[in-house]
Chains A and B, each alone.
Chain A
Amino acid sequence: MTVHPTSNPVAPTSRWMAAARARESERPDRLFDDPLAAALAGPEGFAWLERMEAAAQSSGPGLYPVIRTRFFDDFLLKACKESGIRQVVLAAAGLDTRAFRLEWPSNTQLYELDLPEVLDAKDAVIEAAGARANCERHTVRVDLKETDWPKALLTAGYRPESESVWLIEGLLFYLTWNDVHGLLEKVSTLTAVGSYLGLDVMNTGLFFSPVAWPMMAALARRGATGRFGTNAPEKLTAIHGWETNVTQPGEEGANFGRWPRPMLPRKIPGVPRSFLVTARRT
């Protein structure tokens, strides 16, 4: 596969995520099967995964994306199958292959938003594999930090007056506070009441933890600096008009028999945490 050069150093993290999905797909007790992931990850993705696990001195950099993937697989499918939603938007889709590996209801319109070089690299692998989407897949080549990306989504056929389900996975950690809120504000203007939103976010403890700093440093040295964290994801989304549920990996609904350690309650301060957030537009 040709690896396209990218001006955005965060984009290679999508190969790391793909490598985690590829490794998971080889397990007999896998939480999902992603047959395209290994080709999408390429050597660069597996190298990233190994480096991050070495930096973290744990399996977390491989396990967290797996738990997160399955958690949001279930979330997206439930929104479509139980609420009749037929518009799915994957913001910063990266090398995600949900369009191909999940069984979507008929007439589901799935929009993948990401940088042109990321989607170009993904489409090259998909085309070579001869994979076919299980939905109407639309790729929208945009930079979500720019202001005019909603126009491209609308041009692609998205209808803001109809309910939708959005996923912002693995992105907010890399943005500034202003960019996070700018993005959420735009998402809110594009979503009808009753729509769903999934996202993940880290807490501030991750930025101050001696346990986490080798990983944070390894990311920063590769240009993928963690910038944003919040201890109150409920408030983060509430101010943009969303009613929110928050789950930590390892808790009920995000354990899948795989999270290796008991969870510390959120009232204990200073502990590095990640939050899996699901919300409904009010």
Chain B
Amino acid sequence: MLSAVRTGGVVRRMALGMRGTLKTALASGPDQESISLGAGHVGLLVRPEAMGGLWPRSGIGLRHAPQDRRNSW
């Protein structure tokens, strides 16, 4: 579950718990409005079982859990 992490709209640190064992910083951009994934984060994206932990469909743990598809491509 996504456990914490946006402060004032800025992604400063994202602690991830996957099956209660894996915790890592996801990403943060050097500026306050950006995100940049490093090599260590790619493994999280390619593991389907990890995705539920990254972005829980329930939205639990997300301050802004956008379920709205209007802007999504």
Q: Are A225 and B56 in contact (CB under 8 A)?
A: no
Q: Are A271 and B66 in contact (CB under 8 A)?
A: yes
Q: Is B7 an interface residue (CB 8 A)?
A: no
Q: Is B20 an interface residue (CB 8 A)?
A: no
Which chain A residues border B59 with CB–CB below 8 Å? 210
Q: How far is the CA of A16 from the CA of B42 in the complex (A)?
A: 21
Q: How far is the CA of A212 from the CA of B36 in the complex (A)?
A: 16
The residue among A176, A211, A235 with the most chain B CB atoms within 10 A of its own CB is A211
Q: Are B73 and A207 in contact (CB under 8 A)?
A: no
Q: How far is the CA of A24 from the CA of B32 in the complex (A)?
A: 38
Q: Is A198 an interface residue (CB 8 A)?
A: no
Which chain B residues border A221 with CB–CB below 8 Å? 45-46
Q: How far is the CA of A213 from the CA of B26 in the complex (A)?
A: 14
Which chain B residues border A208 with CB–CB below 8 Å? 55, 62, 64, 66
Q: Which of A178, A213, A230, A235 contacts B54 (CB 8 A)?
A: A213
Q: Which of B34, B48, B55, B57 contacts A230 (CB 8 A)?
A: B34
Q: Which of B9, B42, B62, B68 contacts A220 (CB 8 A)?
A: B42
Interface size on A, residues (CB 8 A): 47
Q: How far is the CA of A231 from the CA of B31 in the complex (A)?
A: 11
Which chain B residues border A257 with CB–CB below 8 Å? none
Which chain B residues border A211 with CB–CB below 8 Å? 66-69, 72
Which chain A residues border B45 with CB–CB below 8 Å? 216-217, 220-221, 225
Which chain B residues border A261 with CB–CB below 8 Å? 69-71
Q: Are B37 and A235 in contact (CB under 8 A)?
A: no
Given contacts A177-B34, A272-B73, 17 further A-B contacts (CB under 8 A): A61-B73, A63-B73, A64-B73, A176-B36, A177-B30, A204-B33, A208-B55, A208-B66, A210-B57, A211-B69, A221-B46, A227-B36, A248-B71, A261-B71, A270-B63, A271-B72, A272-B66
23 A-B pairs in the complex with CB atoms less than 8 angstroms apart: A58-B73, A64-B73, A177-B36, A178-B36, A204-B29, A204-B34, A207-B35, A207-B37, A208-B55, A208-B66, A209-B72, A210-B66, A211-B67, A225-B46, A228-B36, A230-B31, A248-B71, A261-B69, A261-B71, A264-B71, A270-B64, A270-B65, A272-B73
Q: Which residues of A contact B (CB under 8 A)?
A: 56, 58, 60-61, 63-64, 176-178, 180, 204-205, 207-214, 216-217, 220-221, 225-232, 235-236, 248-250, 261-264, 269-274
Q: Which residues of B contact A (CB under 8 A)?
A: 9, 11, 27, 29-31, 33-38, 42, 45-46, 48, 51, 54-57, 59, 62-73
